[in-house]
Amino acid sequence: MPNAKTNYVAASDITITIASLAADANLLAGRESTEWTNTANGYRDAWVAGKITTGTSNLAGSIEVHAIGWNGTGWPDVFDGTDSAETISTAVQKLGFCRLVHQATMPAGSNLVTEFGPRLLSDIFGGDVPEKVVFFVTHSTSVALNATAGNHYIRIQPVYDSI
């Protein structure tokens, strides 16, 4: 019997404008990415990794990255699959559909970096990969994130099996 081989697709950055993202003490306002769609290719899974850099003279606070899956008929709450500013309606809503990808408690300082991953989407979503996924970044570090776009990214690398 032939052995299955894992194949890796070239990694690509998800479109999300994290540079200069304003802080939100409630961690409900942030930035949504464009959607990653798995409909046509049907990848078995995907690795997710990223990097976020704080702004200048920030206070201690949290940085959160969440994944939100398409529910089969639409996006939950305020999400729409586009690179846009969003404010989740309530903390209860956030707990209901946001899947934590990365959380970092950042100390006070300037231009501090937090990197995460790689993590499998199937692990984030409890075993399966949704048809579509967006990412949501929020933080409470008191000042806007670093203004240089190249100091932030969320990267995805799909994987599939072949025989």
> pLDDT 10s digit of each residue in the chain, 163 long?
678 899 999 999 999 999 999 999 999 999 999 999 999 999 999 999 999 999 999 999 999 999 999 988 999 999 999 999 999 999 999 999 999 999 999 999 999 999 999 999 999 999 999 999 999 999 999 999 999 999 999 999 999 988 8
Fold adopted by 25-162: Jelly Rolls (2.60.120)
- Whole-number pLDDT of residue 26: 98
> What does the DSSP assignment read for 81-147?
SSSEEEE-S-HHHHHHH-EEEEEEEEPSBSS-EEEEEEEEHHHHTTS---SEEEEEEEE-SSSPPPS
* pTM exceeding 0.85: yes
- Whole-number pLDDT of residue 34: 98
- Whole-number pLDDT of residue 4: 84
- Whole-number pLDDT of residue 36: 97
- Whole-number pLDDT of residue 2: 74
Contact 135, 32 (CB under 8 A): yes
- Which sequence spans correspond to the domains of the chain? 25-162
- Whole-number pLDDT of residue 1: 60
Distance, first Cα to last Cα, the chain: 10
